[in-house]
């Protein structure tokens, strides 16, 4: 354990990149973001609950693919008291996917989506802390605030709705495992989609 | 914003078929921000031919499509072919990609007109008059935003006896090959360790590489800076590992942007060879029985091996020649078999003991001891001399029928068996590798049984001969030919001795080999003197002379071992040993220990980039630093123990010893400044008092 820590510390030191990549099995990066209704949320608020982070951009075709029904049904399926589903928008003002609070609420309503909150990350600080690259990009954080899954929503990188049924639902499998107290397998998968418009 | 949505659906719905138009192009398909066509380099094709198809993209300005590794986001263009039976399409021959920066991400792809070439092969027995080609293409075109699309293309090419090139598109295909990276024969290896991708490529001439592109997705952090160094005929590449990296591919394509344009090569994955830490394979009865049969067959074949055959022929001669009763022959064969079997089992027991002791010992381990090798060479030479008639060896197994009493017969037979096994062991390794490798991973009893089967196989001919004297009657009658045959059989023995001496020379060097050859001459003299005495042509004293000569020959094998570790020594490094390190530390010297291995690319890159550099060498001189290098290529146990002191189970390991300070472990990824900085820091903590 000590060795692992030392290794990851040295990796951190010599990474040469500006931010540390999050790691499954370690504490998820903290955040404090304002939602579409002006209410602020931080990760610490949800201690004791399993947190889902879903990066989105409603104009991204890959998001459109999953909002053809798949994302809504996942939100419904896991919409219990145990799970907090946070949709995060990291698009900078003026870029694709950036919306006002009212627009975000309208999108939630019109798409029959049911996240617990839609969070705005205009500065991209939280997105970069999570190394979020694409929309959609999914994260599962357990009750103790430990990151348990990061990556794609499923296994087939395409913008075609037909592929959803054929794909392995990595995210859904991971969340199910975490809720049952088991580690996600795989816990890290390739995220696919549009680049986040930081 | 809904405009994009609409565009997306529009693009997704684009589906253009060109019907039965017969032409070398599908015609343009207009999609959102990109138009595309599929073009053939032949207007008429013939059976048995290979030809090229180009998927020609013209995106709007600043819009791009993606390479096989699209980078942090994006999607590689893919083509799904529908072709007549037997017609095969090859993979896309990608043009050299560009790095497209979308901060904080980087994508790999293409801007401007892009030509993706695929090769199609028509079988020689193709009978149709038309070649119908259908391609369903998926792509993602992006600027800031992305639009996925798919389209179907169709080409119908007449199949004739004479292929005709499509002249109108010749230029397009020329352009395509200009944009493709040049395939090179450069050899490269890579590894991913400690969050870094490292690669080393043999490159005699500096091609002035400015960027590299790995085709493996989720391998490197595409946005991280690329470290590119050319040092002494080797190109060294490093980049931060991708967050989503999961496993290293055995090999993948690498494109290098050089001063003379892009080139393509393959990188092979290399990492520490897997050592099975005495993991006993799960026992399977069927496998085991199969291996028993294989081992027995192998043992049988051993009878024909040059290092065994001569000895066995002696035994065969004695069986044929002997005037023993059938009962005696059977007993002798059994004794012989017992000798063979017990020797094999004994060797197996030793192997198992060594295995238990945690030592990785291959079969033929006794051959790793040069003294044993030299002694075996002598033994075979003596046997050869006896066959040549220089000396009559022992009364037991060198047949001289009348003298062979029954008691001596048993002993003689038993030890002929033992000798056969001892002599056989050099041959065993190459021929029985599979069975032995299997036995080495099995539970002890199963392994012993395998070795016993090996012995049984080897003894089988004699048992057969003893039980079916009928077979013996097939053997030729004794006569003068036997003496001749015996003399001929000396030569395989001499050759075996030569082979062993060669092994000995490889182990000990030329000087030691020369001494061993002198020993051989002494052996020759000893045998000759002994032989003279046997013929009663020399006095008693000659027996003593023979013994002295023999001892002298054996003494010559006590040649000092060459330096234990033959590390490829660089000019400023010493070979590591625990004693040397201790001594230097006691002397109050600052010491850098570098544990490395040939197969460790990270080690190699570190050395080239950070240790074997002029600045690091200067720092070593400045701080009077001693540099010790240990080579773990063959998993030296002393080095393994040293690594464990630092909770490491692999290389690289860099430890800096500064007088009065605890040893400091340097990071596993060194930068050119790592060493100098560490030295500066340590010397500021505790200035060095030099006695000089």
Residue with the two structure tokens 């020797």 = B343
For residue B86, being part of any structural domain is answered with yes
Are B47 and B164 part of one and the same domain? yes
- pLDDT score, position A6: 38
For residue B85, being part of any structural domain is answered with yes
What secondary structure letter does DSSP report for A154?
Answer: S
Q: Tell me the pLDDT band of B59, cut-offs 50, 70 and 90.
A: very high
For residue B385, being part of any structural domain is answered with no
Distance from CA of B206 to the nearest CA of A (A): 26
Residue with the two structure tokens 């798409």 = A111
- Selection from B23, B73, B445 nearest residue B223 by Cα: B73
CB contact under 8 A, B73 and A193: yes
Tell me the ipTM for this assembly. Answer: 0.80
User: What is the pLDDT averaged over residues B138-154?
Assistant: 89
Count, residues in chain A: 198
- Domain count of chain B? 4
CB contact under 8 A, B671 and A96: no
The beta-carbon neighbor of B73 closest among A96, A159, A194 is A194
DSSP H or E stretch at residue B46 = none
For residue B504, being part of any structural domain is answered with no
- Selection from B151, B148, B183 nearest residue B75 by Cα: B148
A interface with B, Cβ–Cβ below 8 Å: 2-3, 7, 10-11, 13-18, 21-22, 58-62, 64, 95-96, 128, 131, 133-134, 150-151, 157-160, 186, 188-198
Cα–Cα separations (whole angstroms), residue B97 to B65, B93, B262, B659:
10, 12, 9, 52
Cα–Cα separations (whole angstroms), residue B688 to B323, B572, B626, B676:
87, 21, 14, 15
Are B250 and B359 part of one and the same domain? no
CB contact under 8 A, A64 and B5: yes
Q: Which of B148, B644, B654 to mutate to test the interface with A (most CBs of A within 10 A)?
A: B148
Answer yes or no: are the C-beta atoms of B450 and B435 closer than 8 Å: yes
The beta-carbon neighbor of B102 closest among A64, A189, A195 is A195
The beta-carbon neighbor of B243 closest among A3, A21, A62 is A21
- Is residue B275 predicted with pLDDT exceeding 90? no
CB contact under 8 A, B74 and A195: yes
- Selection from B462, B466, B434 nearest residue B450 by Cα: B434
Answer yes or no: are the C-beta atoms of B114 and B57 closer than 8 Å: yes
Model confidence pLDDT, tens digit, residues B334-363 = 888 888 888 888 877 876 776 665 444 333
CA dist B312 and B417 (Å) reads 9
For residue B541, being part of any structural domain is answered with no
DSSP three-state, residue B156: strand
Contacts of A96 in chain B (CB under 8 A): 1, 4, 144-145
Are B102 and B191 part of one and the same domain? no
Helical spans, DSSP H, in B468-555: 469-474, 480-508, 510-534, 541-555
Give the CA angle between residues B69, B72, B73 to the nearest 5°. 90
The beta-carbon neighbor of B243 closest among A3, A13, A131 is A131
Q: Tell me the pLDDT band of B311, cut-offs 50, 70 and 90.
A: low
- pLDDT score, position B276: 38
Mean pLDDT, all residues of chain B: 78
- pLDDT score, position B589: 87
Determine contact: B571 vs chain A, CB below 8 A: no
Range of lowest pLDDT (B120-134, B195-209, B578-592, B593-607): B593-607
- pLDDT score, position B14: 44
CB contact under 8 A, B104 and A197: no
Q: Give the number of A-B residue pairs with CB atoms closer than 8 Å.
A: 100
Model confidence pLDDT, tens digit, residues B461-490 = 778 877 776 665 665 555 566 667 667 767
Distance from CA of A180 to the nearest CA of B (A): 24
- Is residue B457 predicted with pLDDT exceeding 50? yes
DSSP string, B248-273: --SEEEEEEEETTEEEEEEEEE--PP
Model confidence pLDDT, tens digit, residues B512-570 = 889 999 999 999 999 888 888 777 766 778 778 888 888 888 888 876 655 444 444 44
Residue with the two structure tokens 């033994």 = B379
For the domain that residue B70 is a member of, what is the CATH number? 2.60.40.1250
What secondary structure letter does DSSP report for B608?
Answer: I
Are B346 and B440 part of one and the same domain? yes
Are B466 and B426 part of one and the same domain? yes
CB contact under 8 A, B103 and A198: yes
Model confidence pLDDT, tens digit, residues B497-517 = 887 788 788 767 788 889 999
Are B212 and B297 part of one and the same domain? no
User: Can you give the residue range of the structural domain that contains B358?
Assistant: 285-370+392-490
For residue B677, being part of any structural domain is answered with yes
- pLDDT score, position B53: 95
Are B291 and B256 part of one and the same domain? no
Answer yes or no: are the C-beta atoms of B402 and B321 closer than 8 Å: no
Q: Which of B145, B240, B665, B668 to mutate to test the interface with A (most CBs of A within 10 A)?
A: B145
Range of lowest pLDDT (B75-84, B185-194, B502-511): B502-511
Residue with the two structure tokens 């179907």 = B152
Are B647 and B669 part of one and the same domain? yes
Cα–Cα separations (whole angstroms), residue B69 to A4, A140, B390:
30, 27, 74
Q: Which residue of B has its CA nearest to A99?
A: B1
- pLDDT score, position A149: 96
CA dist B155 and B85 (Å) reads 16
Domain architecture of chain A: domains with CATH: 19-195 (3.40.30.10)
Which two tokens mark A165? Answer: 């049924």
For residue B48, being part of any structural domain is answered with yes
Determine contact: B65 vs chain A, CB below 8 A: no
**Boundary (domain end) residue, out of B179, B207, B228:** B179
Q: Which residue of B has its CA nearest to A195?
A: B73
For residue B668, being part of any structural domain is answered with yes
DSSP three-state, residue B520: helix
HEC profile for B343-388? HHHHHHHHHHHHHHCCCCCCCCHHHHCHHHHHHHHHHHHHHHHHHH
- pLDDT score, position B80: 93
CB contact under 8 A, A2 and B647: yes
Are B259 and B293 part of one and the same domain? no
Determine contact: B10 vs chain A, CB below 8 A: no
Are B425 and B476 part of one and the same domain? yes
> Which B residues 150-169 touch A at CB under 8 Å?
150
Determine contact: B277 vs chain A, CB below 8 A: no
Are B173 and B291 part of one and the same domain? no
Cα–Cα separations (whole angstroms), residue B626 to A43, B590, B595, B640, B692:
52, 6, 14, 21, 15
- Selection from A77, A198, A188 nearest residue A140 by Cα: A188
Model confidence pLDDT, tens digit, residues A150-163 = 999 999 999 999 99
Model confidence pLDDT, tens digit, residues B620-671 = 888 888 899 988 766 677 888 898 888 877 788 999 998 888 899 888 888 8
Beta bridge pairs of residue B140: B148
Distance from CA of A52 to the nearest CA of B (A): 19
CA dist B276 and B266 (Å) reads 29
Q: Which of A57, A61, A193, A196 to mutate to test the interface with B (most CBs of B within 10 A)?
A: A61
**Boundary (domain end) residue, out of B179, B201, B225:** B179
Are B91 and B237 part of one and the same domain? no
Angle (deg, nearest 10), helices B285-302 and B444-467: 40
Q: Which of B8, B69, B80, B195 to mutate to test the interface with A (most CBs of A within 10 A)?
A: B195
Q: Tell me the pLDDT band of B16, cut-offs 50, 70 and 90.
A: very low
**Boundary (domain end) residue, out of B179, B195, B220:** B179
- pLDDT score, position A98: 94
């Amino acid at each position: 354990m000590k060795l692992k820590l030392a290794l990851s510390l040295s990796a951190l030191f010599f990474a040469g990149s500006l931010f540390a990549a999050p790691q499954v099995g370690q504490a998820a990066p903290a955040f404090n973001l304002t939602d579409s209704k002006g209410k602020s949320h931080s990760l610490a608020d949800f201690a004791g609950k399993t947190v889902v982070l879903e990066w989105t951009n409603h104009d991204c075709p890959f998001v459109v693919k999953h909002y053809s029904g798949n994302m809504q049904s996942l939100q419904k399926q896991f919409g219990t008291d145990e799970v907090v589903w946070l949709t995060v928008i990291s698009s900078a003002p003026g870029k694709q996917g950036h919306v006002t609070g009212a627009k975000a609420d309208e999108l939630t309503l019109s798409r029959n989506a049911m996240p617990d909150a839609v969070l705005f990350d205009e500065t991209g600080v939280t997105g970069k802390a999570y190394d979020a690259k694409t929309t959609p990009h999914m994260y599962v954080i357990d009750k103790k605030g430990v990151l348990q899954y990061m990556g794609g929503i499923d296994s087939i990188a395409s913008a075609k709705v037909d592929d959803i049924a054929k794909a392995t639902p990595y995210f859904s499998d991971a969340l199910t495992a975490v809720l049952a107290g088991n580690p996600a397998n795989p816990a890290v998968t390739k995220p696919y989609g549009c680049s986040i418009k930081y | 914003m809904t405009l994009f949505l609409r565009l997306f659906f529009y693009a997704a719905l684009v589906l253009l078929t060109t019907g039965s138009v017969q032409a070398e192009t599908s015609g343009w398909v207009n999609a959102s921000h990109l138009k595309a066509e599929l073009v053939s380099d032949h207007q008429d094709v013939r059976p048995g031919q290979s030809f090229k198809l180009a998927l020609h993209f013209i995106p709007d300005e600043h819009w791009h499509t993606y390479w096989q590794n699209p980078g942090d986001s994006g999607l590689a263009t893919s083509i799904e072919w529908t072709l007549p039976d037997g017609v095969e399409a090859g993979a896309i021959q990608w043009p050299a990609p560009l790095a497209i920066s979308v901060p904080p991400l980087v994508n790999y792809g293409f801007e401007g007109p892009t030509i993706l070439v695929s090769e199609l092969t028509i079988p020689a027995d193709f009978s149709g008059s038309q070649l119908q080609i259908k391609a369903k293409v998926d792509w993602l075109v992006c600027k800031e935003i992305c639009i996925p699309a798919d389209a179907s293309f169709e080409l119908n090419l007449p199949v004739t006896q004479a292929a005709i090139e499509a002249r109108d598109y010749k230029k397009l295909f020329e352009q395509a090959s200009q944009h493709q990276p040049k395939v090179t024969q450069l050899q490269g290896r890579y590894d991913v360790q400690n969050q870094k991708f490292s690669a080393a490529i043999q490159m005699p001439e500096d091609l002035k590489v400015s960027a590299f592109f790995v085709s493996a997705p989720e391998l490197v952090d595409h946005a991280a800076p690329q470290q590119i160094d050319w040092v002494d005929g080797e190109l060294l590449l490093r980049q931060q590992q991708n967050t989503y990296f999961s496993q290293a591919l055995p090999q993948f394509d690498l494109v290098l942007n050089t001063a003379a344009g892009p080139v393509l090569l393959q990188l092979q994955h290399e990492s520490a060879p897997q050592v099975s830490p005495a993991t006993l394979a799960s026992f399977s009865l069927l496998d085991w029985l199969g291996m028993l049969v294989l081992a027995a067959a192998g043992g049988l074949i051993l009878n024909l091996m040059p290092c065994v055959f001569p000895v066995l022929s002696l035994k065969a001669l004695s069986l044929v020649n002997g005037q023993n009763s059938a009962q005696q022959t059977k007993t002798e064969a059994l004794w012989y078999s017992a000798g063979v079997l017990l020797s094999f089992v004994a060797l197996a027991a030793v192997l198992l003991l060594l295995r238990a002791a945690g030592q990785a010992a291959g079969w033929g381990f006794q051959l790793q001891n040069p003294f044993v090798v030299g002694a075996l060479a002598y033994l075979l030479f003596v046997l050869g001399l006896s066959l040549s008639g220089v000396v009559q060896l022992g009364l037991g197994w060198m047949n001289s029928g009348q003298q062979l009493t029954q008691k001596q017969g048993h002993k003689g037979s038993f030890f002929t068996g033992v000798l056969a096994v001892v002599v056989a062991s050099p041959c065993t390794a190459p021929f029985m590798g599979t069975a032995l490798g299997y036995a080495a991973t099995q539970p002890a009893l199963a392994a012993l049984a395998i070795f016993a089967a090996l012995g049984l196989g080897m003894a089988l001919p004699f048992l057969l001969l003893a039980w079916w004297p009928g077979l013996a009657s097939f053997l030729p009658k004794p006569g003068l030919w036997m003496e001749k045959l015996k003399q001929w059989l000396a030569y395989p023995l001499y050759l075996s001795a030569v082979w062993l001496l060669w092994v000995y020379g490889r182990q000990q060097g030329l000087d030691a080999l020369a001494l061993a050859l002198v020993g051989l001459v002494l052996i020759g003299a000893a045998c000759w003197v002994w032989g003279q005495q046997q013929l009663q042509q020399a006095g008693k004293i000659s027996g003593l002379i023979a013994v002295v000569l023999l001892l002298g020959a054996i003494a010559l094998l006590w040649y000092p071992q060459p330096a234990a570790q033959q590390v490829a020594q660089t000019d400023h490094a010493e070979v590591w040993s625990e004693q040397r390190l201790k001594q230097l530390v006691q002397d109050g010297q600052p010491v850098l220990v570098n544990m490395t291995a040939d197969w460790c690319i990270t080690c190699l890159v570190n050395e080239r980039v950070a240790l074997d550099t002029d600045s690091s060498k200067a720092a070593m001189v400045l701080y009077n630093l001693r540099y010790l290098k240990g080579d773990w290529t063959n998993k030296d146990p002393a080095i393994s123990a040293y690594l464990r002191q630092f909770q490491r189970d692999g290389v690289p390991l860099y430890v800096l010893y500064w007088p009065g300070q605890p040893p400091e472990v340097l990071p596993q990824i060194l930068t050119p400044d790592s060493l100098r900085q560490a030295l500066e820091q340590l010397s500021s903590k505790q200035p060095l008092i030099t006695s000089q």
